[in-house]
Amino acid sequence: MHRFDVETLTAGRWRNGGGATREIVSWPVGAEEFRWRASVADIDGDGPFSAFPGVDRTLTLLAGDGVRLTAPGGFDRTTRTEEPLAFPGDMEPAAELRGGPCRVLNLMVRRGRAAARVERVTGPVVPPGGHAGVLYVLRGRWRAVDGEVLLEAGQGVWWDADDAAPGGAVEPLAPGAAALWADVALVG
């Protein structure tokens, strides 16, 4: 497992100036085309989202009042705190902030090469063998890798399907702890 702290990740500004992205992982690392990618995005203003043809996306609101995404054909969805919102990256939705800047966890998988499920968890997570993924702590303290790694809000771990078995569960250390778990099943 690879530990990260969002606040120490380098923020890259969007071309349209509407926000910044802090990349957690883009797999395979260093490849021109990702198979799966996880990041945290700070959205500063209304504007278009970039289209990612052949990619499925899941956004989860971490902070702020929400982002309304609309696109031709009747797509009209609004993010809600800690509730994953999945949509095809082929479309280029317009984003409207619902009360100011927002922060989201953004998971993208290349369709036909990976499939993802993102969920809010409050109990131990045991990553399935052969799967990749990310665990992002929302609140409370969590323990990973046989108790050697302690995690707090804004921190987490990621792993790829080729990584050695993580050595057990990632687990909360107290009631009230919550995290987002992105499970990535690789295809083919």
pTM summary value: 0.93
- Kindly list the distances between the CA atom of residue 107 and the CA atoms of 37, 52, 134, 174, in Å, as whole numbers in the listed order: 6, 12, 9, 27
- Kindly list the distances between the CA atom of residue 3 and the CA atoms of 17, 71, 141, in Å, as whole numbers in the listed order: 29, 36, 14
- Kindly list the distances between the CA atom of residue 147 and the CA atoms of 14, 66, 130, in Å, as whole numbers in the listed order: 37, 35, 22
Structure token pair of residue 115: 């499939």
- The residue among 19, 83, 11, 93 whose CA lies nearest residue 50 is 93
- Kindly list the distances between the CA atom of residue 93 and the CA atoms of 83, 145, 148, 173, in Å, as whole numbers in the listed order: 19, 38, 41, 39
CA distance 102 to 33: 27
- The residue among 98, 101, 99, 105 whose CA lies nearest residue 82 is 105
* DSSP designation for 90: T
Tens place of pLDDT per residue across the chain (188 aa): 899 999 999 999 987 778 899 999 999 988 889 999 999 999 999 998 888 999 999 999 999 999 999 999 899 999 999 999 999 999 989 999 999 999 999 999 999 999 999 999 999 998 888 899 999 999 999 998 767 789 999 999 999 887 654 556 899 999 999 999 999 999 87
The residue written with tokens 């999945």 in the block is 86
Using alpha carbons only, how large is the chain's radius of gyration in Å?
A: 16
Structure token pair of residue 169: 């569960």
